[in-house]
Amino acid sequence: MPKKLKVVVKSLYSHEIRKDVSLENLKSLKLEDAWPFIREEIETEIGSSQLVCIPHITEADLYNVTSLFVPNEKPTNGKMFTPLGELKMNINTAKSDPHYVSWLNESDFQDTSFKFPHESVKITLQDESIKNKVRVIMVGFTRTIIPNDKDLVSNIYLDVDKHKELQGKKSVYMITNVLMAKTIEFRVTRGTSSRIFHLGNASPLVFGLDEFMIGDDGKLISKQPVTIKSKFLHWQRLHPSDQLYIAEKDAESEE
């Protein structure tokens, strides 16, 4: 086992973390195989352990502000949650407040007052014993958020008749806060082979959730913040195909 060493380098421009860890289980140079190793570090360094890192960087487009998810009664394609897309695609426009319908269609969620402490963050995980390495460089952080002066409760009706995934559901999970990077460079190394991925277009990295209670007519009747422990909402990190799932209460008590 390599020594567990963490080096942190900070400046006004950049924030760099290097850690010696075991990467023996890094199976390939594929992005989806390397992502689970770096997710927890991103969640800590970018989300300050308050926001959740997206389960799959290759599915980043599912995790935008107002994106909806409903829990499945049993795993579907290995997933315990089904993504429904952004809120504007799931509302009953006839019943919802027209001002909110117009606002959602504009999709202007940019937080212009947000300023991340550093222009860039670089995280490197390395296993010198077998020359495996996973590195990510994130540059240009921005945030999208549902403003405090926008109250979706009582103003938005979901179209439960049109969207069968909503039928019979008492609540829906909605992303209300997303931190993203303008550009992301991802490098995966196994021995003497390496591969570099360049991701752009402001890719989501970490996000926060709210749970909205739904009336029989689709009306959003209340909301409550979601935290990983208090709502038993977890992100499975045990396998490259990790997905959102709800842990059993007895499993939570064992942690």
Would you kindly state where each structural domain of the chain is located, as residue ranges? Answer: 15-231
The pTM of the full predicted model, rounded to 2 decimals, is: 0.81
Q: What is the pLDDT of residue 8?
A: 53
- Residues 167, 79, 223, 177: is their CA dihedral positive or negative? negative
Q: Residue 157 carries which DSSP code? A: B
Check whether 106 has a pLDDT greater than 50: yes
pLDDT at 200: 74
CA distance 11 to 240: 33
Close Cβ partners of 83 (under 8 Å, ≥ 6 residues apart): 62, 67, 68, 69
Cβ atoms of 82 and 165 within 8 Å: the answer is yes
Q: Is 226 helix (H, G, I), strand (E, B) or coil?
A: strand
Within 13 A of 207's CA, how many CA atoms are on the CB side? 28
- What six digits make up the tokens of 215? 């009336």
Per-residue model confidence as pLDDT tens digits over 20-32: 999 999 999 998 8
pLDDT at 155 over 80: yes
Highest mean pLDDT among 39-48, 58-67, 76-85, 145-154: 145-154
Please state, in angstroms and rounded to a whole number, the distance separating the CA atoms of residues 55 and 61.
Answer: 12
- Judged against a pLDDT cut of 90, whether residue 111 lies above it is answered with yes
